[in-house]
Chains A and B, each alone.
Chain A
Amino acid sequence: MIWEVFRQDEPGGYHTHCGNVHAPDREMALLFAEIQHARRKPTNSLWVVPQKEIASQTDETDRFGGTTDKTYRWVSAYNVDVEFAKEIEDSDREQRSVAGDSA
């Protein structure tokens, strides 16, 4: 029987999946998980979960999103290059000075 192992570094943190162990029951699973994932690392808590109790789906059977092009929502759509900032600053200064000349 396979048990998935989740480990928490410190109180309040997330339990993060870190691997699995073969064990006949809960007690042995915890014992093996402790050996493999907790004894030599700072660990606050361990969970073991029977693998068959975990519900899962993948993007092969279900669409999780990204079905239409929404790349404009990504932060990468905004150009944050410092060279551009400089160019905008220069352009702004130039326009102000032209506006000043005509006043």
Chain B
Amino acid sequence: MSSLSGPDVLSADERAAIEALVFPLADDEFVLAERYTEWQVRAPTLESDLALANVAQDELGHARLWYDVVADLGYDEPELLFERDPDAFYHASLCALPFETGDWADAVVRSYLYDTAEGLRLDSLAGSAYAPIANRIERITTEEEYHREHAATWIKRLCVDSEGRQTVQNAVDRLYPYALALFEPGEPTQTDVIESLGLRTESLPSLRGQWIQTTSTFFDSIDVSVPVVELPQGLPEDPGRHDPHVAAWLSLYDDFTRTYRELDRAHTPTITSEHNDG
């Protein structure tokens, strides 16, 4: 295990496996945070606005933690984000899917589905053989727990009347197949290497099984039904990861790269001095 202590001691195969594991983690967090920010000044109350902005800020922080892992393998910030081909992003489409206009249930159900998956995924990385992955987990986990509590609390409140429960049901029906794609690998050919190196200590199908069980139990308890999805044919046509992204992803990509392009930036200043010498 000590052979995977840091970026300087890796073989080419090990690097490829680490990248295949970390890019989906980083891209999920980053793209979802970009989507969440659309709720700024539009959430139902000032408090919920601040709460979702906080969640988005946390996710951006987590994205940075993960991008730093691949940056240490030789990528710079433009390559990772602002000049990367939109087709080369590995997020699941759940993160890029546009919100139904004004549908707060969409925001909190999506957060619940994502953060529950994220919690399981982080647990499977806490014992990672690659030290820079394992040592990030604790910090991220405490914040994800808060996100999950926030989302679950909201969903329960929405379900106190039948009209509210219906909005939750609609969001679950729409988002559940997309959420299942969170457990698709970024690069399917790397899955065996990731597991044999011990980079992740549990398989994706096993994590998906636990996620279905946890989310089903929760939604059952509030009389919301969870769709039964046959895998893999029940996944959406555009699940993301290595498969096609949702069409709206391109406009989201244009949005977050616009300032970079308009200012004709030759390089991206960062807030950490170690990356600021370009």
Selected from B47, B146, B150, the residue in CB contact (under 8 A) with A36 is B47
Within 8 A of B (CB), among A23-64: 23-24, 27-28, 31-32, 34-36, 39
A35 to B47 CA separation, bound complex (whole angstroms): 9
Known interface pairs A28-B157, A31-B51, A35-B51; A22-B149 also in contact (CB < 8 Å):
no
C-alpha gap A16/B106 in the complex (Å): 36
Nearest to A29 among chain B residues (CB) is B47
B201 at the interface (CB under 8 A from A): no
Residue B50 at the chain A interface, CB threshold 8 Å: yes
Residues in B whose Cβ lies below 8 Å from that of A31:
51, 149-150, 153
Cβ-defined contact, B149 with A35, below 8 A = no
In whole angstroms, how far apart are the Cα atoms of A17 and B133 in the complex?
Answer: 40
Determine whether B190 belongs to the interface, using a CB cutoff of 8 Å to chain A: no
A39:B54 contact, CB within 8 angstroms: yes
A22 to B45, CA, bound (A): 8
B150: nearest chain-A partner, CB-CB: A31
Question: Can you list 27 A-B pairs, Cβ within 8 angstroms, ordered by A?
Answer: A21-B47, A22-B45, A22-B46, A22-B47, A23-B47, A24-B157, A27-B153, A28-B153, A28-B157, A31-B51, A31-B149, A31-B150, A31-B153, A32-B47, A32-B48, A32-B50, A32-B51, A34-B146, A35-B47, A35-B50, A35-B51, A35-B54, A35-B150, A36-B47, A36-B50, A39-B54, A39-B146
Note all chain B residues with C-beta closer than 8 A to A32. 47-48, 50-51
| Cβ of A54 to closest chain B Cβ, rounded Å | 19
How many A-B pairs have beta carbons closer than 8 Å: the answer is: 27
Size of A's binding interface in residues, CB under 8 A: 12
Interface of A (DSSP majority class): helix
Complex Cα distance, B249 from A52, in Å, reads 47
Q: Quick one: CB contact mask for B146-187 with A, threshold 8 Å, 1 for yes?
A: 100110010001000000000000000000000000000000
**In the complex, A27 Cα to B51 Cα: how many Å?**
14
| Further 6 A-B residue pairs, CB within 8 A, beyond A23-B47, A31-B51, A35-B47 | A21-B47, A32-B48, A32-B51, A35-B50, A35-B51, A39-B54
- Least CB distance from A86 to B in Å reads 54
A2 to B176, CA, bound (A): 35
Chain B nearest CB, measured from A22 CB (Å)? 6
Docked complex Cα distance between A28 and B150 (Å): 8
Q: Which residue of A lies closest to B154 (CB)?
A: A28
Contact residues in A for B150 (Cβ distance below 8 Å): 31, 35
Residues of A within 8 A of B46 (CB): 22
State in angstroms the CA–CA spacing of A38 and B150 once bound together: 15
| Residues on A with beta carbons closer than 8 Å to the beta carbon of B45 | 22
Closest Cβ of chain A to B160, distance in Å, is 9
Complexed CA–CA distance, A32 and B48 (Å): 8
Residues from chain B with a CB closer than 8 A to the CB of A36 are 47, 50
Enumerate chain A residues within 8 angstroms of B47, measured Cβ to Cβ.
21-23, 32, 35-36
